Amino acid sequence: MSILGAVLTGGRSSRFGSNKAVAILGDRPLVAHARSSIAPYCARVVQVGGADGVPDMPTPGMGPLGGIAGALDYAASHRFRCVLTIGCDMPHLPDGLIEAILRREPSYCEDAPVLGLWPAALGAQLMAHLSLGQDRSVRGWARAIGAIPIASPQPIANVNTPADLAAL
């Protein structure tokens, strides 16, 4: 298995009010829930962004695409074929969704595009895309590279605010 798992944790958490990656759901931080969701499919899982993670590329503050670029760079330099990305704010995924994403690459979840499978070879192309300073949305980049959108069988819980966390 040559898939690197990458949990994106470098966001500002502005709507949450504090670092949501370390917010507790049940008895574990959100980042641990996200890691657990992808770990069975990956040879290794890393955290991207934040003080302790693989750095965003080319610089912090580029949004989720900067995290994906950092993960692709790390994957290429450590000989992983591709990267399965997930946001730290996605503690629960519908059954079968990751398996559907893994069937094709590149692919991403239509409802939550940060959840995706990206060939490591796309790192240079993503860096070029980011250098143009245009559309920095994951969905826009995914369309530009011809990634396949995968529909989620159920709505995906996404924690953006303390109220979202309390609802879970």
pLDDT, residue 150, reads 98
Q: Which fold has domain 3-167?
A: Spore Coat Polysaccharide Biosynthesis Protein SpsA; Chain A (3.90.550)
Distance from C-alpha of 75 to C-alpha of 5, rounded to nearest angstrom:
9
Strand residue runs (E) in the chain: 3-8, 24-25, 28-29, 44-48, 82-87, 107-109, 116-119, 148-150
Domain limits, the chain: 3-167
pLDDT digits (tens, 9 = 90+) for 56-93: 999 888 899 999 999 999 999 999 999 999 999 999 99
> Which pTM does this prediction carry?
0.95
